[in-house]
Structure 1
Amino acid sequence: MNATTRQDAPERARPAVSKVRGGSSETTARPVVIVHGSMDRSTGFRRVSDHLPDRTVIGYDRRGWGRSRSLGGPDVDHQAHVDDLSAILAELAAPIVLGHSYGALVALAAAAADPSLVAGIVAIEPPVRWLPWWPADDPWEKTVRGAAAEGGPEQAARALLTELLGPASRLHLARAQPSDLAADGTALISEMTDPTVDVPRFNPLTFATPTVVAAGSRSAPHHVEVARRLAELLPHGRFAEISGAGHASHVSHPQEVARLTEQIDSNPEFDSKPENHLIEEQRR
């Protein structure tokens, strides 16, 4: 669906936005907006918000997930998620955006479309599939495609959760309702097979927003490599490795993830990298 068609169509329902944490009434710290990844929802960041007591933390469930499950569907592409986030940001005073995985990609695209909406971004392992360091056949995408072909959306959700959480997935899957797994699997397949995600949505070399790009030290090697390389390319980018964490660092290392937002406020400009310095970093 192109931009013209979307403007002419009736206004679609928007995801519900809620405060995960209210923050201190006396604080001057910027609020934080959370954009969750696939197979997740905003409540997955509660432990992160516990380590941000002085900030207002705002969350919402993206289309197809959690409380916004009914807003999903075949017409929901990456741009729809960007539009939702942009509408939320437009009602706030330039917050910090904390995006995880697919949600980090949404955050980067929204900031590129209108840099004035965002003070800074913490992007945890964004799947920037059009960068040259992303493999042509991503292992998780391969797992989801194979499981979906074998057992449909429910099996796809089970397969990815098993890879994401390892042994800890057993308890989660034992408690999950098959209907919920099937619904999550449908949204998962939609996001992983969306061809518009492969189209460059921002130019890293001219990206204006201060950004911390982070990755867990135990994450898939290409997730770490893409995060590191993206941070090197961004004029106002910094890379942060979360020691001992896998892909779900907001669950296993919430304090470390919360601390990354402080890097935005403590050094909001993130001094631009001189061109020769950037070239040297790319050679390493």
Structure 2
Amino acid sequence: MRPDEAFRAEVAKNIDGLVADTDLQALSRTWVREVAPHNWAYNFSWLGRPAIQFPNDAWALQELVWKVKPDLIIETGIAHGGSLIYSASLMALLDMCEATEKGEMLDPQNPKRKVLGIDIDIRQHNREAIEAHPLFPRIEMIEGSSISRETVDAVHGFASGYERILVCLDSNHTHDHVLAELQAYAPLVSPESYCVVFDTLLEDMPEHLSDDRPWGPGNSPKTAVHAYLKDNPNFEIDGRIDKKLLITVAPDGFLKRVA
């Protein structure tokens, strides 16, 4: 066995152990529960913009982007724009690597790969900061409810020009809203790519952590994921991703399109 193959086999064995270690998984949820009142996820940024994500989940996303090599990433939920900038930077790296392999020149003002962000309220100061960012040529934004007919039609129209699509859902976290987003956007995911549903962890957290929100245990992205999967066998949960991360907001949230 070649050294690189041996290392991958070792990693696979490590993940097998994490999948089986339910005590460690529970300990990780306890850590997330205790850090939640401190808004830990607010403390990070990417290339100058706040990115309200767990670093582990961002790392997992870059692994998926390298594996899938999408030409379009669709994201619901923009906030300060850090996640959009992060995805745009990953797309820029893909284009750079591809151009290097082919000996081609890149046109930074006319990029091949794009990121499409959707939010019901793109605040002006955030819009201005995103539009002023050097990676903005890779970004398109739609302001409107992610589940309105008008927005869904606009997204589908935009996506029609792309072949390999990855979707990230991170806006309103109620069951009905996330289920509607899954029904609207998961069909755009290309085979072997992913729909990542964030904040499924809400289902596993104490109710009091959601007291001031319309979502919580029993009414969460995770309940929406399982409802969607009942009628859509072309997707399955890639449980090895969240188990290897341990510290994640997306348990059962990495959905792989298998057909």
Short-chain TM bin: 0.3 to 0.5
